[in-house]
């Protein structure tokens, strides 16, 4: 099946899960589709409550610079109680 993706898009692809508390130790892949500058905001929270409404979440900004063929991954912002301290 063909997949049409806009130039400059950044897409995360991870394992299939049925519900958020299922969890997985498998990695998430980041795909960058060249041809234009692009950005992506990675959002993460506990996934099993409404604490995000009180600011308990984190984000990571990714920016694709097409002219330089360069992906910039900024420092994580925010926190929540069960957040992992590192990612692979």
**88 occurs within a structural domain:** no
Q: For residue 28, tell me if it sits in a domain.
A: yes
Q: Are 20 and 45 in contact (CB under 8 A)?
A: no
For residue 54, give the 3-state DSSP assignment.
Answer: helix
Count structural domains, the chain.
1
Residue 25 lies in a domain: yes
Domain residues for the domain of 38 are 10-79
CATH classification at residue 60:
2.60.40.1180
Is 43 a domain residue?
A: yes
The string over 21-44, giving b where at least 16 C-beta atoms fall within 10 Å of a residue's C-beta and e elsewhere, is eeeeeeeeebebbeeeebebebeb
1-53 per-position pLDDT tens digit: 888 999 999 999 988 888 877 777 788 899 999 999 999 999 999 888 999 99
CB 64 within 8 A of CB 37: yes
Within a domain: 4: no
Give the Cα-Cα-Cα angle 31, 64, 87 (nearest 5 degrees). 60
Residue 62 lies in a domain: yes
The pLDDT tens digits of the residues spanning 49-79 come to: 999 999 999 999 999 999 999 999 999 999 9
- Domain assignment present for residue 71? The answer is yes
């Amino acid at each position: 099946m063909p997949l049409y993706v806009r130039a400059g898009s950044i897409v995360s692809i991870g394992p299939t899960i049925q519900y958020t508390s299922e969890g997985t130790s498998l990695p998430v892949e980041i795909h960058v589709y060249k041809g234009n500058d692009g950005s992506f905001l990675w959002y993460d929270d506990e996934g099993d409550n409404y604490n995000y409404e009180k600011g308990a979440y984190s984000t990571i900004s990714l920016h694709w610079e097409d002219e330089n063929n360069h992906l910039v991954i900024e420092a994580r912002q925010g926190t929540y109680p069960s957040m992992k301290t590192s990612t692979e």
